């Protein structure tokens, strides 16, 4: 197989360290800061492994003979998985560069949107992990999970690992950390002694029980990507612009979780007085979190022309009913149902345009959503990815690009805490009284999902830190 036309890969020192470390390991792990060169390193490692697999298979079973028919059985089959379909672009581009097109001496013969064929009957499938049930279980000879930490927790353990068992295939994990989630517990702890000690303590085991020599990995920071000279300077700037936790994760590639208060609000800067001047807003957006035993909370936010998001009002209450079977048109101004409460909240600030304001709904109560839709609200689906919302809000508070006005949202935010070190929690935090936070983050669905990082000045390495769909 010729690779004449493929560009030469000149790994940075950090990337070389990774390739050496994982050389003989079935499972390879690269944890690095944003733009650190993980995807490039992953693609280069995939190419090496494909070449090795085909050389071995050639001596063990002889050359590939194309099978007859429309759906030929691949000789070797691989899979690349990213958290979303859009995020598959990066590994695709890197693979295309390093595998090269067959027409000019490389390996790729055919490129469909979700399936590539390489010379010699080698097939690569591309899958997004946002619908794990669609990750059909073929056997694979190798899998690459890019931005693995952002995949849902069960995708590896419940959907993908088994697809490697028939072939004893390999897996490569490349990722920026996202706190101590599944990637830390199930993957990184198997190759990193410090993480193994931590996880062992939590699980009442010994570090030796956690460490697994078939897992090997390396970690490096953004600034260690010496292929892009400006990243070192940008990392220094990011340390000033970002909250500590977000800097540690995204640039230093720390798995650390900072225990204690998540949102640090400073009264003078973040709590506004009453009565916003509505002409300052270029758009409005509302979000609602439906509680059954907990309060229901609805927040209205405005985006100013200067690119800042201000809370306008939040209404939160427990025990208010949803279904108003009474005549809506007659009762909307004085009814005590959630539909009329939200109507009055929006109408107070937007007048007759109340029905234009997007009202972001979570997916868990389609029945309630339907009631609002039927009454003419501009209902849209909320963006519900939690860590992305935390990262966005922490950063926006830090840079002064979000402001809180109501006492009820203020109190809720200041009480949200991560568990103390050494404590495990399936939720991001200790308490469950986060209803107003949920309504607020749903209202902010658009900026959070846009992937833009709300710093004062733009940090190139941070753009697309995860939410973009
Ligand atoms: N070994 C390398 N040689 C040249 N450029 C590189 C190398 N490694 C990374 N880069 C460049 O650095 C940037 C970030 O690399 P990438 O692998 O996409 O980072 P990450 O996946 O960690 O965010 C890309 O523009 C890429 O082209
Ligand atoms: Mg990448």
Q: Establish whether residue 15 lines the binding site of ligand 1, counting it when its CB lies within 6 angstroms of any ligand atom.
A: yes
* Lowest mean pLDDT, pick from 204-218, 272-286, 292-306, 327-341: 327-341
- Judged against a pLDDT cut of 80, whether residue 17 lies above it is answered with yes
- From the number of C-beta atoms within 10 Å of its C-beta (0-12, 13-18, 19+), residue 458 rates as exposed
Domain 267-450 grouped into CATH 3.40.1350.10:
no
pLDDT at 1: 43
pLDDT band at 262 (very low <50, low <70, confident <90, very high): confident
CATH 3.30.420.280 boundaries in the chain: 267-450
pLDDT band at 431 (very low <50, low <70, confident <90, very high): low
pLDDT at 456: 87
Average pLDDT, rounded, for the chain: 89
* Pocket-testing residue among 32, 40, 464, ligand 1, by greatest number of atoms within 8 A of Cβ: 40
The average pLDDT across 306-328 equals 84
Protein residues within 5 Å, CB atom, of ion ligand 2? 39, 90
- Judged against a pLDDT cut of 70, whether residue 59 lies above it is answered with yes
pLDDT at 463: 65
The average pLDDT across 320-334 equals 71
CATH 3.40.50.300 boundaries in the chain: 13-230
Q: Establish whether residue 225 lines the binding site of ligand 1, counting it when its CB lies within 6 angstroms of any ligand atom.
A: yes
The average pLDDT across 327-347 equals 83
CATH of domain 13-230: 3.40.50.300
- Residue 107 in contact with residue 1, Cβ under 8 Å? yes
pTM: 0.88
The C-alpha torsion from 241 through 243 and 244 to 250, rounded to 10°, is -80
């Amino acid at each position: 197989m010729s690779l004449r036309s493929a560009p030469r890969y000149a790994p940075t020192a950090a990337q070389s360290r990774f390739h050496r470390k994982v050389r003989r390991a079935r499972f390879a792990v690269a944890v690095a800061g944003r733009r650190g060169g993980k995807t490039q390193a992953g693609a280069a490692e995939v190419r090496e492994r494909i070449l090795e697999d085909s050389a071995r298979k050639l001596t063990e079973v002889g050359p590939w003979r194309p099978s007859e028919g429309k759906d030929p059985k691949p000789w070797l089959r691989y899979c690349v998985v990213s958290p979303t379909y859009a995020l598959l672009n990066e590994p695709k581009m890197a693979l295309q560069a390093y595998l090269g097109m067959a027409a000019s001496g490389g390996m790729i013969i055919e490129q469909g949107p979700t399936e590539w064929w390489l010379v010699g009957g080698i097939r690569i499938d591309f899958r997004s992990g946002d619908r794990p049930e669609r990750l059909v279980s073929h056997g694979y000879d190798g899998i690459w999970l890019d931005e693995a930490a952002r995949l849902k927790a069960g995708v590896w353990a419940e959907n993908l690992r088994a697809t490697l068992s028939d072939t004893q295939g390999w897996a490569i994990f490349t990722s920026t950390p996202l706190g101590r989630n599944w990637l830390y517990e199930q993957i990184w702890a198997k190759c990193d002694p410090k993480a193994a000690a931590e996880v062992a303590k939590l699980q009442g085991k010994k570090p030796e029980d956690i460490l697994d020599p078939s897992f090997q990995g390396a970690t490096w920071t953004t600034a260690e990507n010496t292929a892009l000279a400006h990243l070192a300077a940008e990392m220094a700037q990011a340390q000033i612009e970002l909250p500590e936790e977000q800097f540690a994760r995204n640039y230093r590639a720390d798995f650390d979780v900072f225990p204690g208060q998540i949102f640090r609000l400073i009264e003078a800067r973040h709590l506004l007085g009453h009565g916003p001047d509505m002409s300052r807003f270029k758009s409005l957006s509302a979000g609602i979190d439906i509680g059954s035993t907990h309060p229901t909370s609805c927040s209205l936010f405005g985006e100013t022309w200067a690119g800042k998001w201000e809370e306008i009002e939040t209404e939160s209450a427990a025990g208010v009913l949803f279904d108003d079977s009474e005549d809506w048109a007659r009762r909307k101004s004085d009814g005590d149902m959630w539909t009329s409460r939200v109507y009055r909240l929006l109408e107070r600030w937007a007048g007759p345009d109340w029905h234009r304001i997007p009202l972001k709904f979570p997916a868990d109560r389609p029945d309630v959503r339907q009631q609002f839709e039927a009454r003419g609200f501009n209902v849209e689906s909320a963006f519900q990815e939690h860590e992305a919302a935390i990262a966005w809000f922490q950063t926006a508070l830090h840079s002064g690009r979000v402001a809180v006005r109501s006492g009820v949202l203020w109190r809720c935010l200041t009480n949200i805490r991560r568990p103390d070190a050494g404590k495990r929690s399936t939720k991001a935090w200790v308490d469950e009284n986060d209803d107003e936070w949920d309504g607020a983050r749903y209202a902010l669905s658009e900026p959070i999902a846009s992937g833009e990082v709300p710093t004062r000045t733009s940090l190139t390495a941070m753009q697309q830190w995860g939410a973009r769909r």
